[in-house]
Amino acid sequence: MNSNEILSECNKIFIDQLDNDAIVLKRETTANDVEEWDSLTHIQLVVAVEKHFKVRFTTAEIQGFKNVGEMCDTIEKKVVAK
């Protein structure tokens, strides 16, 4: 699975979890760009992403993602390592 595929899967998860069809994720998207994405829904999104890709982020990773791209890179690393 490459980075683009991961991004598009994440996009689906965000649309599903936040119940908003209009969400279009780019690598540089941050929480500020998506209205429903706040500190509360953040955890919900992280857990959904983890379940989907069957990976587990560390605390530092969860706190440190600067944008969607960084999250996708982390997922890719973990998926490859498996």
Partner 1 sequence: MDFKQIKANLKKDFTGLKKVKVAILADSSTQYLAQAIRGIGYEKKLDIEIWEAEYDAIDLTISDISSELYAFKPDFTFLFLSSSKLQKKFYKSGYSSDFSGDILEYYKKVTEVMSSHIKTNYLIVNFPDKLDSVFGHYAGKVNSSFSYQVKKINISLMDWAQNNAAVSIIDLCGLQAMYGNAFVTDTRLYISSDAIFSLDFTIKLAENCVQVLEAFTGGSKKCLILDLDNTLWGGIIGDDGLENIQIGDLGIGKAFTEIQLWAKALKDRGIILAVCSKNDEINAKEPFDKHPDMVLHSDDIAIFIANWSNKHDNIKYIQSVLNIGLDSMVFIDDNPFERNMVRQFLPEVLVPELPEDPADYLPYLNSLNIFETNAYTEEDKDRTQLYKAEALRNDASRSYTSEVDFLKSLDMISEVKPFDAFTIPRVAQLTQRSNQFNLRTIRYTEEDVKRIATDNNKYHTFSFTLADKYGNHGLIGVIILEKKDKEALFVDTWIMSCRVLKRTMEQFMLNEIVQYATRHKFKQIEGEYIETRKNGMVREHYKNLGFTAKDNKWILSIDNYDTKTCYITNA
Provide the binding-site residues for partner 1, judged by CB under 8 A. 16-17, 19, 39-40, 43-44, 47-48, 57-59, 62-63
Nearer to partner 1 by C-beta: 41 or 67?
41
What is the Cα Rg of the chain in Å?
12
Q: How far is the CB of 31 from partner 1 (least distance, A)?
A: 14
- Asked whether the CA dihedral 11, 41, 43, 74 is positive or negative, the reply is positive
Q: How far is the CB of 47 from partner 1 (least distance, A)?
A: 5
- Token output for 21: 């069809």
Nearer to partner 1 by C-beta: 40 or 81?
40
Nearer to partner 1 by C-beta: 26 or 51?
51
Closest CA to 19 of 43, 40, 31, 35: 35
- Asked if 72 and 6 count as a contact pair (C-beta separation under 8 A), the reply is yes
